[in-house]
Amino acid sequence: MQQINHGSNHHEIVLEHGKLHVFANEEVLESFQSKVYEMADNNLRIPRNVYMGYTPDAHVGVGTCIGTTAVWNMEDGCVSPSIVGVDIGCGMRVHTTSLHRNDIVDKKIRRALIAAIEKYVPTNERTNTHYADIDIMNVVQHGLGGLPDKYVPDNQWLTHVEQAVFQYEHAYLEHLPPRILKNAHGQLGTLGSGNHFIEIQYLEISEDQRELAAKWGLFEGQVVVMIHSGSRAWGAMLGREYNMALKEAMHLWGVHNPDPNLIYAPIASREGQTYLNLMYSALNFAVSNRHMIAFGVREAFREVFGSELEMPVLYDLMHNYALKEFHRNRPMLVHRKGATRALPPNHFLNTPAYKTTGHPALIPGSMGTSSYIMVGREEGIKNFYSICHGAGRARSRRATKELVTVDQFQQSLRVGTEDEVLVNHRTLEKILDECPQAYKNVDEIIDSVVGASLADVVAKCKPMAAIKGL
């Protein structure tokens, strides 16, 4: 394995089947396991690959590492469910408030907010949505445009998003897995478990980005809400179904790969087109799910602070998808698995609301650590404008439970102090596998991204309360 150091945290790894670009500082790079390079080499066996890159949070996943950007030309390339991930459309959303940190520093107020959020946003897997009047088929066909007007507080909730509706051929919905409508119907506006969360934070604005922050409506000490969730049962069922379908097709075509979990098909094939079109239906569900979670959070804040309080959406974006984008004057299919698009100012793909500034790139940390709001740079083209999607796991859930104690988890949340990060769980043992010790050092990850000139930090988001699924 040959390594070429291009400087500025950009490393080119020459593997047997192609080149992998890694964006990480030396400390993060040294922490990479050999398995991440093995998985990259397997991915590079997929024919006609144009580009493959790792962000610094890269770690081993199923078939493909989380933290991967992989690109093929639309006319002769491939699509891979493994390089999208099972939680199709999983992503981030941030809403701002007019509140200052001092307004919620009292633990009683934060506990009231947690209780109110749990009232409006189901966090228990066995609790169905509060929005049974929403037609799921309208949502998966039309995205945010399929929601009833009463659930759209203002037009900004439709415009300040990466994409409000993902267009596709609705005829492909005839290929939906059995029972998907039944399973997904009760989940719109629900959080889900695992690493999904709602977090109440306050902002520390970067000194050199105060002008941009002001343009985005951000200020020092501002209370914001960060939401992390995906397409729930809709995406999970599609992911499982079409992993199996494409795996069977690969067998019939005589296509083999050392990793049986790496699944792909030509974009132009019947299987590839079916997966792509149904994947877009899951993206519509995902953006609508985060929208409805945010609607519930808004109701909760109004219950505590009064009905006049507004919560404008800062931005909503995804980090598990494959999108048709134009690069190098050609249409390309850009896969991002655990990677966040970060477009620079004046890029033509920016949503109109952020055309001149570039859009907010939302990067969560882990429970008890900072999250970040960033903005892309022109130099980001070298990784197809992809940056990290979070801190990235440092160890598995099982290993975390074996190596980290509840006491250590409590210390990381500063339990018992005035600035304790409050959580909705009665016992931390239930969510021990989501403790900060399970993740890489998010500050090192962000340092890697900034040092690679992929994006800049606009604000650091400091946690005050976290709501996790049960």
Q: Which residues are catalytic?
A: 389
Q: Measuring CA to CA, how many Å separate 368 from each of 15, 86, 395, 410, 413? A: 37, 27, 17, 10, 5
**Pairing of β 78-79 and β 91-100:** unpaired
Query: 112: closest CA among 464, 470, 381?
Result: 464
Rounded-to-integer distance, Cα 206 and Cα 235, Å: 36
Q: Measuring CA to CA, how many Å separate 312 from each of 102, 265, 306, 317, 350? A: 20, 40, 16, 15, 19
Using left for φ > 0, alpha for ψ between -120 and 50, and beta otherwise, residue 18 falls in left
Task: Break the chain down into helix, strand, coil percent, rounded to 5.
Answer: 35, 25, 35
Q: Is the dihedral of CA 4, 9, 15, 17 positive or negative?
A: negative
Q: Phi and psi for 204 in degrees, rounded to 5?
A: -115, 110
Rounded-to-integer distance, Cα 278 and Cα 286, Å: 13
Query: 442: closest CA among 55, 123, 111, 14?
Result: 55
Rounded-to-integer distance, Cα 417 and Cα 56, Å: 32
DSSP state of 8: T
Q: Measuring CA to CA, how many Å separate 95 from each of 201, 203, 318, 367, 389? A: 10, 12, 15, 18, 18
Q: Measuring CA to CA, how many Å separate 233 from each of 116, 192, 220, 229, 241? A: 25, 9, 38, 12, 12
The residues with which 21 forms a beta bridge, in sequence order, are 12, 53
**Pairing of β 10-15 and β 18-23:** antiparallel
Report the 10 Å Cβ neighbour count for 35: 11
Residues 60 and 34: beta-carbon distance below 8 Å: no
